[in-house]
């Protein structure tokens, strides 16, 4: 990522590199761009987890985990791990803290590493709801979980702040990584509609003891399809269930 200009501008100061990056403007209708982090607490984690560590007597185990397994950046082993993954689970919350968890998948390495503090993942054509992106618009905090079900049965958590960036904004960057440029210019169903940039604040292992080791089977994937049956149809038989909202909102 050396020499890459907006939107992934890096400062000569390591601390400034960790705390900010620019994307040449805010997300559509976003109240503000990503803000620098507050001064670091003595330890990672929330007040709630620290309270419960003391309450349940797990402080020693937690401290060992913070000091041995948690980083504020991606090391080379983590970057290599992400470069092999075909799926990720994305957790976001809106401005009121109401949560959503979603699934993203693509070819191996579809989540692109920009440097040790930044990554980007593509948004492919979906159902049009924009639940994750809508949450990011209100609240930039994001949690990503990568799980290798097929080889190591190990997971990797990446937490940080996210921002929406359009393809044309990325393509305007003269030093954009070739892999991302190639992703954007593809003509098949894997063409991203836009991207989510993530500033890494925490990265740590998800231990393997409860992760099943699975066997991958072949499946034909029609990337970007709107075919209802190929998308799963009405598998949960929800179509004709009653709902508390007006199915055709006024003004639509």
Predicted confidence at residue 251, as pLDDT, reads 60
Token pair for 22 = 């620019």
Kindly state the average pLDDT of the residues 82-106: 97
Is the pLDDT assigned to residue 4 strictly greater than 50?
Answer: no
Residue predicted with more confidence, 5 or 135: 135
Q: Residue-wise over 53-66: b if at least 16 C-beta within 10 A, else e?
A: beeeeeeeebeebe
Percent of the chain whose predicted confidence (pLDDT) is above 70: 82
Is the pLDDT assigned to residue 25 strictly greater than 60?
Answer: no
Q: What is the pTM of this model?
A: 0.81
Residue 24 to residue 7: CA distance in whole angstroms: 6
Predicted confidence at residue 229, as pLDDT, reads 76
Predicted confidence at residue 231, as pLDDT, reads 74
Residue 4 to residue 189: CA distance in whole angstroms: 28
Instruction: Give counts: helices (H), strands (E), the chain.
Output: 7, 7
Measure Cα distances from 244 to 129, 236, 240 in Å. Answer: 18, 18, 13
Q: Which CATH number fits domain 73-215: 3.40.50.170, 2.30.110.10, 3.40.50.1980, 3.50.50.60?
A: 2.30.110.10
Is the pLDDT assigned to residue 44 strictly greater than 60?
Answer: yes
CB count within 10 Å of CB 127 equals 8
Is the pLDDT assigned to residue 36 strictly greater than 60?
Answer: no
Residues with Cβ < 8 Å from 18, sequence gap 6 or more?
Answer: 37, 72, 73, 117
Q: pLDDT tens digits for 112-141?
A: 999 999 999 999 998 899 999 999 999 999
Predicted confidence at residue 219, as pLDDT, reads 84
Q: pLDDT tens digits for 51-77?
A: 999 999 999 999 999 999 999 999 999
Long-range contacts of 148-152 (CB under 8 A, 24+ apart): 148/81, 148/84, 148/85, 149/211, 149/212, 149/213, 149/214, 149/216, 150/213, 150/214, 150/215, 150/216, 152/208
Is the pLDDT assigned to residue 34 strictly greater than 60?
Answer: no
Is the pLDDT assigned to residue 26 strictly greater than 80?
Answer: no
Query: Over the chain, what is the mean pLDDT?
Result: 85
Q: pLDDT tens digits for 204-252?
A: 999 999 999 999 998 887 777 777 777 778 889 999 999 898 888 766 5
Would you say 123 and 196 are in contact if contact means Cβ atoms under 8 Å apart?
Answer: yes
Residues with Cβ < 8 Å from 188, sequence gap 6 or more?
Answer: 223, 224
Beta strands 87-93 and 99-105: pairing type?
antiparallel
Is the pLDDT assigned to residue 24 strictly greater than 70?
Answer: no
Would you say 109 and 82 are in contact if contact means Cβ atoms under 8 Å apart?
Answer: yes
Q: Provide CATH 2.30.110.10 ranges for the chain.
A: 73-215
Residue 246 to residue 76: CA distance in whole angstroms: 50
């Amino acid at each position: 990522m050396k020499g890459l200009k907006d939107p992934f501008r890096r400062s000569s100061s390591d601390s400034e590199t960790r705390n900010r990056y620019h994307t040449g403007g805010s997300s559509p209708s976003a109240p503000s761009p990503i803000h620098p982090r507050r001064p670091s607490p003595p330890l990672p984690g929330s007040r709630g987890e620290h309270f419960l560590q003391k309450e349940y007597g797990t402080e020693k185990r937690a401290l060992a985990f913070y000091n041995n397994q948690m980083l504020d950046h991606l090391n080379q082993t983590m970057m290599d791990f992400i470069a092999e993954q075909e799926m990720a689970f994305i957790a976001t919350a809106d401005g009121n803290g109401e949560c959503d968890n979603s699934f993203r998948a693509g070819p191996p390495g579809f989540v692109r590493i920009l440097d040790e503090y930044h990554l980007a993942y593509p948004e492919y054509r979906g159902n049009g709801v924009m639940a994750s992106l809508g949450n990011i618009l209100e609240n930039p905090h994001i949690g990503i979980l990568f799980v290798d079900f097929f080889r190591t049965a190990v997971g990797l958590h990446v937490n940080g702040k996210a921002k929406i960036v359009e393809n044309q904004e990325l393509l305007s960057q003269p030093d954009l990584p070739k892999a991302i440029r190639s992703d954007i210019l593809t003509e098949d169903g894997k063409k991203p509609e836009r991207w989510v940039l993530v500033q890494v604040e925490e990265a740590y292992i998800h231990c393997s003891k409860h992760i099943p080791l699975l066997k991958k089977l072949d499946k034909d994937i029609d990337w970007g399809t709107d075919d209802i049956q190929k998308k799963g149809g009405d598998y949960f038989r929800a179509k004709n269930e009653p709902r508390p909202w007006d199915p055709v909102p006024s003004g639509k």
